[in-house]
């Protein structure tokens, strides 16, 4: 499926024969297939929930070169699902932690580390030398960026995504089928789909989807089986059901259709509505220190906690009005516009969209976003409270 040039193929060493013996005795893989895996170059974008099993299994399978793109560091909250990282890796760069585990599994693998954020300015340069891109990202702007870069470079994009108890996987390869934009022409409105940090995720779910992605990478390189090109595999962990949906190539797609209008990478934050319109009124923030001062001085305030009930169970902010984000619009009349309102969530991100929702709904009161949210508050003022 992926043309690996003959001059890149190398014989397996004496030590590699027993290492990959279970591949070698598979008629569909054999020596030639394993030599293709050894010659292949795979870039994994993101070394989190999806990238962890991807990196582990591709390293074990004998992929010759694995690239890792990530700018984040390991946090305690990652350890529930990002199995490539361990407790001793907390606060280390994820790429460094992942590189160590890859080398422990298979020292024959060459690891290229890009400890940076993938952006329009660097994506083409980073992706261009790889045979397959495996998308392990968790946000829409990077998914569109990876998709568009892959289309422009003619590289297959092995896609995966997860949300709470559900996952998806596919292979987007514009030369042979649809791309991600054919499935999702427009991103959802900002704030509609929470991240794992805000919405939660079942710990084993990314392991299942990431392993499926690794399987698709191996199939593409060795030219075996039927890849998920033109098909979307969906998985529901609660019902333990898989479904396969057909994805049609959109001839009007702006990047892979008959008359493409996108011929270079764009500003994906703007495309996903994450950049503030210059005409929009800026959202005012309140620091946790200022909020505490106003509370201690008994200043009139209404504090609105927009977190979900299961989040409230971890830490409940005293004297706050609890209105989950999804109920905010219809319950806006419960707020007194004569009193300053402080909107709070876990990290100070959902609360920005909540304030926009109230503004669009006609609420005229003064509103503040609690900067960095409940986690910053508990870390500073309630150190015994659990962080999540």
179-236 per-position pLDDT tens digit: 999 999 988 876 666 667 667 899 999 999 999 999 999 999 999 999 999 999 999 9
pLDDT in tens, 103-128: 999 999 999 999 999 999 999 999 99
| Domain count for the chain | 2
- Which two structure tokens, joined as six digits, stand for 147? 């998709």
When the pLDDT of each residue in the chain is averaged and rounded to a whole number, the result is 92
pLDDT in tens, 275-317: 655 456 788 999 999 999 999 999 999 999 998 877 888 888 8
Residues 210 and 300 in one domain: no
CATH number of the domain within which 321 lies: 3.40.250.10
Residue 29: which domain range? 6-271
Select from 384, 352, 382 the least CA-distant residue to 369: 352
Cβ neighbours of residue 332 under 8 Å, at least 6 residues apart?
358, 361, 362, 363
Q: Is 196 considered catalytic here?
A: yes
User: Domain boundary at 239, 271, 303, which?
Assistant: 271
Residues 214 and 312 in one domain: no
Strand residue runs (E) in the chain: 41-45, 65-69, 110-114, 132-135, 157-163, 166-172, 231-236, 241-246, 285-286, 301-305, 321-322, 340-344, 367-370
- Which two structure tokens, joined as six digits, stand for 154? 């003619």
Predicted pLDDT at 278: 47
Q: Are the C-beta atoms of residues 249 and 230 closer than 8 Å to each other? A: yes
Q: Which is the catalytic residue, given 150, 179, 182, 345?
A: 345
Q: Which is the catalytic residue, given 150, 182, 196, 256?
A: 196
DSSP 321: E
Select from 348, 306, 341, 347 the least CA-distant residue to 323: 306
Q: pTM for this structure?
A: 0.80
User: Domain boundary at 204, 238, 271, which?
Assistant: 271
Select from 365, 358, 367, 359 the least CA-distant residue to 330: 358
User: Residue with structure tokens 């013996």?
Assistant: 21
How far apart are the C-alpha atoms of 161 and 170, rounded to whole Å?
9
Residues 370 and 309 in one domain: yes
User: Domain boundary at 271, 303, 318, which?
Assistant: 271
Q: Is 215 considered catalytic here?
A: no
Residues 146 and 84 in one domain: yes
Helices 288-296, 373-381: crossing angle, 10 deg rounding? 70
How far apart are the C-alpha atoms of 14 and 25, rounded to whole Å?
16
Predicted pLDDT at 170: 98
Residue 128 has a CB neighbour count (10 Å cut-off) of 12
279 belongs to a structural domain: no
What share of the chain in percent tops pLDDT 90?
76
34 belongs to a structural domain: yes
């Amino acid at each position: 499926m992926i043309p690996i040039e003959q001059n890149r193929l190398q014989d397996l060493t004496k030590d590699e024969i027993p290492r990959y013996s279970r591949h070698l005795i598979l008629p569909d893989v054999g020596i030639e297939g394993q030599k293709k895996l050894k010659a292949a170059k795979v870039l994994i974008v993101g070394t989190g929930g999806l990238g962890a099993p991807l990196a582990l299994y591709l390293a074990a399978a004998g992929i010759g070169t694995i690239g890792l793109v990530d700018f984040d560091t390991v946090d305690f909250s990652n350890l529930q699902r990002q199995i490539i990282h361990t407790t001793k890796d907390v606060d280390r760069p994820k790429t460094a932690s992942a590189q160590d585990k890859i080398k422990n599994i298979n020292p024959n693998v060459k690891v290229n580390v890009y400890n940076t954020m993938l952006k329009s300015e660097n994506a083409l340069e980073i992706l261009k030398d790889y045979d397959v891109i495996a998308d392990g990202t968790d946000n829409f702007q990077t998914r569109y960026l990876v998709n568009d870069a892959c289309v422009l470079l003619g590289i297959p994009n092995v896609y995966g995504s997860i949300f709470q108890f559900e996952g998806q996987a596919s292979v987007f390869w514009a030369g042979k089928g649809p791309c991600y934009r054919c499935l999702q022409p427009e991103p959802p409105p900002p704030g509609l789909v929470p991240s794992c940090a805000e919405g939660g995720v079942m710990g084993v779910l990314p392991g299942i989807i990431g392993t499926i992605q690794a399987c698709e990478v191996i199939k593409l390189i060795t030219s075996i089986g039927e890849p998920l090109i033109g098909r979307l595999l969906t998985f529901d962990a609660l019902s333990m059901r898989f479904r396969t949906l057909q994805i049609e190539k959109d001839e009007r797609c702006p990047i892979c259709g008959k008359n493409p209008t996108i011929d270079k990478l764009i500003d994906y934050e703007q495309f996903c509505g994450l950049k503030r319109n210059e005409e929009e009124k800026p959202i005012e923030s309140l620091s946790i220190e200022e909020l505490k001062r106003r509370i201690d001085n008994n200043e009139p305030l209404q504090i609105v906690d927009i977190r979900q009930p299961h989040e409230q169970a971890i830490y409940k902010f005293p004297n706050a009005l609890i209105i989950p984000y999804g109920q905010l619009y219809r319950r806006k009349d419960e707020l007194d516009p004569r009193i300053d309102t402080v909107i709070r969530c876990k990290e100070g991100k959902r609360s920005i969209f909540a304030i926009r929702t109230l503004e669009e709904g006609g609420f005229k009161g003064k509103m503040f976003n609690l900067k960095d949210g409940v986690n910053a508050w508990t870390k500073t003022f309630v150190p015994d409270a659990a962080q999540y």
